[in-house]
Structure 1
Amino acid sequence: MDLLYQIDVKVFYFINQTLSNPLFDKFFPFITDLKNWYIAYLILFLLMIIKGGRLGRIAAVVLVFLVTATDQISSSLLKNLIERIRPCNVLDHVNILVTCTESFSFPSSHAVNNFAAALFFSMLFPKYRVWFYTVATLQAFSRPYVGVHYPSDVIGGALIGAVLGYLFGWIALKINTYLKEKKTQITDKYQRIELK
């Protein structure tokens, strides 16, 4: 366990200090701040409802449950269960680029939420999966870069998020298939009535 922690710390310092440069020091604090994403999230949500057809509307509804689940599982359950202290609160010489809160570190909620969304959207709208995974990866990478998470927090969060995203994506696709079949049955029934 000590060896794994040492590796975690070394990789953390590599990302947080060795890769540090003026461009990244501006870019990743911007990327990691969720307030900078609110408009993009709202536009995506509205596009799903307005332009996404039945699958888009199903995705919008299921997404609400996915976000609730990921937030509760990562922030309310796992963080308080594991109680890992953030690197910015325990390590020396950390390049801290955002506020270092007292909340616990594992898993990274940014990683959980973003990889859950990436997998969920990739299952429903595979044409755009490169964009979904790019955003999730940048968000996740930003966390050790700005000094608030260990790499293992991010990797663990990404895995948890991927499982949840897959589960809710599967549910959304099942609902879509069910409604599609139901509509076909109703259409067939009315066509038979008209033929009589």
Structure 2
Amino acid sequence: MIDFLYSIDVAIFRFINGTLANPVTDKLMPFITDVTHWYLVYVLLWFIILFKGGKYRVGLAIGMILLVIVSDQISSSLLKNLFERARPCKVLENVHLLVGCTDSYSFPSSHAVNNFAAAMFFTYFYRHLKWILFSVATLMALSRIFVGVHYPSDVFGGALIGLVIGYSLALIYNFVLVKIYSLFEKTE
């Protein structure tokens, strides 16, 4: 059964990474997948929340920092070392590799975990942004397959893990923020 699922994973990987490859995706996907580009997006989002985020803006700006730390540590330090899955660019032949192939493990995709956690967390507080947040997260996650460093199951699993982390932290954070702000409102 595991071999069958792996063969499906490889077939989908080959379709996205090879068959769908073209000059546009070859230029666009490495740009999208580059961590320095999405850090800029997160810094911009952080400032928008801090200055235009409404009643809980300071708390949410702090929450964003905690979210990135928690989701990244769960995926990079805990789960990758638990599953120890080799990247497709390390074990498959003829991978259309558009970025460097690191020695870190493949499952789950930390890009997918972090971006879906952020999308879920901020959708909880800013529902009107859900389409843009999840579109960016999906594009980021798919870019990892296009550039040849993750299997589809790494990305799908990472997205699910990110959704759980983002929603859980949003619930906890909402509870804490409401309690803290209600204490300040009572003292005024």
User: Same fold per TM (> 0.5)?
Assistant: yes
Runs of 4+ in 1 over 4 A off after TM superposition: none
Paired residue secondary structure (2:55): helix
Paired residue secondary structure (2:56): helix
Q: What is the identity, as a one-letter code, of the residue corresponding to 1:97?
A: L
Q: CA deviation at 1:46?
A: 1.3
Q: Is the 8 A contact 1:58 1:175 kept in 2?
A: no
1:7 aligns with 2:13: no
Residue in 1 aligned with 2:178?
177
Give me the whole-angstrom Cα distance separating, in 2, the residues matched to 1:163 and 1:40: 22
| Structure 1 segment 75-94 matched on structure 2, within 5 A | 75-94=76-95
Q: What is the identity, as a one-letter code, of the residue corresponding to 1:134?
A: S
Structure 2: state its 5+ residue gaps.
none
| Structure 1 segment 24-39 matched on structure 2, within 5 A | 24-39=25-40
Residue in 2 aligned with 1:43?
44
Give me the whole-angstrom Cα distance separating, in 2, the residues matched to 1:162 and 1:30: 24
Give me the whole-angstrom Cα distance separating, in 1, the residues matched to 2:50 and 2:157: 32
- What CA deviation, in whole Å up to 9, does each residue of 1:13-37 have, x standing for no partner? 0100111111111111100001122
Range moving further from structure 2, 138-147 or 61-70: 61-70
Q: Is the 8 A contact 1:87 1:149 kept in 2?
A: yes
Structure 1: state its 5+ residue gaps.
188-196
Q: CA deviation at 1:62?
A: 1.5
Give me the whole-angstrom Cα distance separating, in 1, the residues matched to 2:76 and 2:119: 19
Q: Which has more radius of gyration?
A: 1
Residue in 2 aligned with 1:138?
139
Identity across matched positions, percent = 52
Give me the whole-angstrom Cα distance separating, in 2, the residues matched to 1:151 and 1:182: 46
Q: What is the identity, as a one-letter code, of the residue corresponding to 1:166?
A: Y
Aligned length: 187
Residue in 2 aligned with 1:61?
62
Residue in 2 aligned with 1:190?
none
Normalised by the length of structure 2, the TM-score is: 0.95
Give me the whole-angstrom Cα distance separating, in 2, the residues matched to 1:13 and 1:32: 18
Residue in 2 aligned with 1:118?
119
Q: What is the identity, as a one-letter code, of the residue corresponding to 1:41?
A: Y
Range moving further from structure 2, 73-82 or 132-141: 73-82
| Structure 1 segment 13-24 matched on structure 2, within 5 A | 13-24=14-25
Q: CA deviation at 1:176?
A: 2.9
Q: Is the 8 A contact 1:112 1:161 kept in 2?
A: yes
Q: CA deviation at 1:57?
A: 1.4
